[in-house]
Amino acid sequence: TWDLSKALWIIREIAEMTIEKEFGVSRTILAD
């Protein structure tokens, strides 16, 4: 559903920002 897709997108965005902040990893590593 749209809600699930949106929730997963938000979780992914937060995870990417957290990883960048904590480890300095580029977003592109998590990109599909």
Q: How far apart are CA 3 and CA 18, in angstroms?
A: 22
Q: Write down the pLDDT at residue 30.
A: 58
Q: What is the pTM of this model?
A: 0.52
Q: Write down the pLDDT at residue 22.
A: 78
Domain boundaries, the chain: 1-31
> If we measure between CA atoms, which residue out of 32, 3, 30 comes closest to residue 17?
30
pLDDT in tens, the chain (32 residues): 789 999 999 999 998 888 878 776 655 555 55
Q: Write down the pLDDT at residue 6.
A: 93
Q: Write down the pLDDT at residue 28.
A: 59
Q: How far apart are CA 16 and CA 13, in angstroms?
A: 5
